[in-house]
Amino acid sequence: MHIRGDHAELAVGGRLDVRSAADARTVLHSAVDSGDGDLVLDLAGLDSWDATGLGVIMGAHRRAGRCGRRLVLRDVPPQMQRLLVATRLHRILAIEGGLPAAETQILTKP
């Protein structure tokens, strides 16, 4: 996993999982704490995430809210979009451009 950027925009690549969670958490919290306005996470280079990685994203989202900021996800890969819809986190997280409506409808039908 690698994260590049500053307090306004970070590009996340590789795997965000239990092995990389502590490092990712440190970088994300530092970025949240040192800036203002939206913090954009560009996920185009992210290969995969597990429940721990998703927890890191949610923790950064909560921390940003407490700091008066907003965490915004950009270029969420399709397989991760499906996970956000399945867990209904797409309703909580800010996703730049939203998710494709057809995919959201298909995945949320009972």
DSSP for 39-57? EEEEEEEEEEE-HHHHHHH
- pLDDT, mean over the chain: 88
CB 4 within 8 A of CB 11: yes
Domain chopping of the chain, boundaries: 2-77
pLDDT tens track, the chain, 110 positions: 677 777 789 999 999 999 999 999 999 999 999 989 999 999 999 999 999 999 999 999 999 999 999 999 999 999 899 999 999 999 999 999 777 654 555 555 55
How high is the pLDDT of residue 53? 93
Topology of domain 2-77, CATH: Transcription Regulator spoIIAA (3.30.750)
Q: What is the pTM of this model?
A: 0.84
Nearest to 59 by CA among 14, 11, 92, 37: 92
